[in-house]
């Protein structure tokens, strides 16, 4: 899949959706974003998101 036509806004939206989805590997009770925020004490929202793969 080519990403040439994907805007920065669309990419951040996809990242935000991935980081805020409940994960089975986290017991279906928390999201990667919540785990990252709890471990680091930092809240990164849409404009500062990083994809957390799990």
Tell me which H or E stretch contains 34: helix 32-40
| Residue 11: predicted pLDDT | 84
pTM exceeds 0.75, yes or no: no
d(CA 25, CA 44): 21
| Residue 46: predicted pLDDT | 45
Domain definitions of the chain by residue range: 8-40
Distance spanning both ends of the chain, measured CA to CA: 21
- List the structure tokens of 47: 């404009």
Residues contacting 44, CB < 8 A, separation 6+: 33, 36, 37, 50
The pLDDT profile of the chain, 54 residues, written as one tens digit per residue, is 678 899 888 888 888 888 888 888 888 888 888 888 888 887 665 445 555 544
């Amino acid at each position: 899949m080519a990403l040439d036509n994907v805007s920065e806004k669309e990419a951040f939206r996809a990242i935000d959706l991935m980081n805020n989805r409940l994960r089975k590997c986290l017991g279906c009770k928390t999201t990667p974003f919540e785990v990252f925020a709890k471990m680091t004490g930092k809240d990164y929202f849409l404009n500062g998101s990083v994809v957390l793969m799990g």
